[in-house]
Amino acid sequence: MKKISFIFVFLFSISFSWSQEKLTRILFVLDASNSMNAKWDGNQTRLEAAKELLSKAVDSLKGTANLELALRVYGHQTLVTATYQDCSDTKLEIPFGPNQYDAIKFRIRGLQAKGTTPIARSLEASAGDFPDMNSRNIIILITDGLEACDGDPCVIAKKLKDKNINVTPFVIGLGLDLSYLDKFRCIGEYSEAETKTQFDKVLNKIINKSLTNSTTQINLNNIVGKPLETDVTLFLYEAGTTKIKYTFMHTLNDKGNPDTLNINTIYKYDMLVNTIPPVWKKNIEIYKNKHNVIEADVPQGFLKVKTATTSRFVIDTRIMQSGSGTTLNVQQINSTDKYIVGKYDLEILTLPRIYQTIEINQSALTNIDVPVPGILNYKTSAPIAGQIFVAKENGTWEWVCNLDNTTLSGTWILLPGTYKIVYRQLRLKSTDYTYEKEFKIFSNRTMSVNI
């Protein structure tokens, strides 16, 4: 079978009763098949990168209480050829023991990529590498391709489950075609990584999860309590402080569920959900040895302030919670933003201003239409003190803006309507020299006024 040029990491967790746990055992299964000689993310081969990251991970585990490590390798003993592949090429190189860190690192350094990819046989053999089932037993498999022999990892995974060994893989793919990843769904969910840095980060996440046996999901609930809100940044602070411990862009996984996170259990947290307006959840505790669920009610809908104007007009809208007067957001014209459901006061920064109160509903789009402005160009022969007013429907005139008394010309973007300029030349010191000039503004048209 032709191998695929990507790297994956799987984590297999063998279930047990936590109350009986005295020890965690992690077995690293490393692919040293011929395709691991290909270059990846720079000048390193895939095997060189995997060896570097695995050695770094092993180093980070030194001194961890109640932990034993082991190493199994496959594809490193027999050279694969066009006519032959050794599907039995899998070996437990370093068995479990209390201080195998240096032994694993030393053996990793000497590995050369040679053979084929017997994933299923390696997984099947790995089940026998653990001395007993009284500890928490973890398998982390690092490979760059699909099964190349006659085994079926899905069948092996089912056999392990039938023996009450639960299989929970974490897959890290490099620029993967998602349709290709569907082949791994028989084993479990996956996460993607396109660079060596991302690979390193997720490998450490897997190891940390293995040690804490604690997972967390953050449910951002809609108006009926379903965790369907997403795509918002979360800050997790150490409770009562301004120290950010985690920053997450909330995600729903490929099954539409909140993504599973690995969060340290030694702290309590204050969580800020960066919606508009923001939502806080205080004094959150993450418990060991369980799946934690953090609930936050953040039902949201959408607002679009739109106009048929061209890009030469810049129109912003100030968004406030109804009655508060505090600016939550300044939204650009023809853009769409999300807001927590409720009532909002809008100040659309046209001239003259438009004020409106609207209601945001769950998952619904509220549209506000702004008339297309026009342009006023004015010129004067001498500096003036002047103001622009707009005619209201009730017959009154409303102030719009003041003119600059240091220039002889100016431009204003105004909504369609009837206007007048009230002015006096600065050099004339009598109110008797007050004059008015009326004009009309039409959408997408320019009005020139000489004063």
The answer to pTM > 0.75 is no
Distance of CA 137 to the CA centre of its chain: 31
Closest alpha carbon to 220 in 284, 271, 287, 285 = 271
Tens of pLDDT along 134-158?
A: 777 788 888 776 677 876 767 776 6
Rounded to whole angstroms, the Cα distance separating 268 from 83 reads 59
Tens of pLDDT along 59-116?
A: 988 888 889 999 999 999 988 888 888 899 999 999 999 899 999 999 999 999 998 8
For β-strands 191-192 and 172-173, DSSP reports them as parallel
Average confidence (pLDDT) over 223-242: 97
Tens of pLDDT along 250-271?
A: 999 878 999 888 888 889 999 9
Rounded to whole angstroms, the Cα distance separating 272 from 236 reads 7
Structural domains of the chain, ranges and CATH numbers in brackets: 8-212 (3.40.50.410), 215-297 (2.60.40.1120), 300-369 (2.60.40.10), 374-450 (2.60.40.180)
pLDDT score recorded for residue 39? 81
- What's at 382, amino acid-wise? A
Contacts of 160 (CB under 8 A, 6+ apart): 12, 14, 123, 127, 166, 167
Decide: 347 and 313 in contact? Cβ < 8 Å. Answer: no
- The model's confidence at residue 167, banded by pLDDT at 50, 70 and 90, is very low
Decide: 408 and 380 in contact? Cβ < 8 Å. Answer: yes
Comparing 337 with 212, which gets the higher pLDDT? 337
3-state SS, one letter per residue, for 325-365: CCEEEEEECCCEEEEECEEEEEEECCCCCEEEEEEECCCCE
Closest alpha carbon to 265 in 285, 291, 290 = 285
Tens of pLDDT along 400-451?
A: 999 999 999 999 999 999 999 999 999 999 999 999 999 999 999 999 999 9
pLDDT score recorded for residue 90? 94
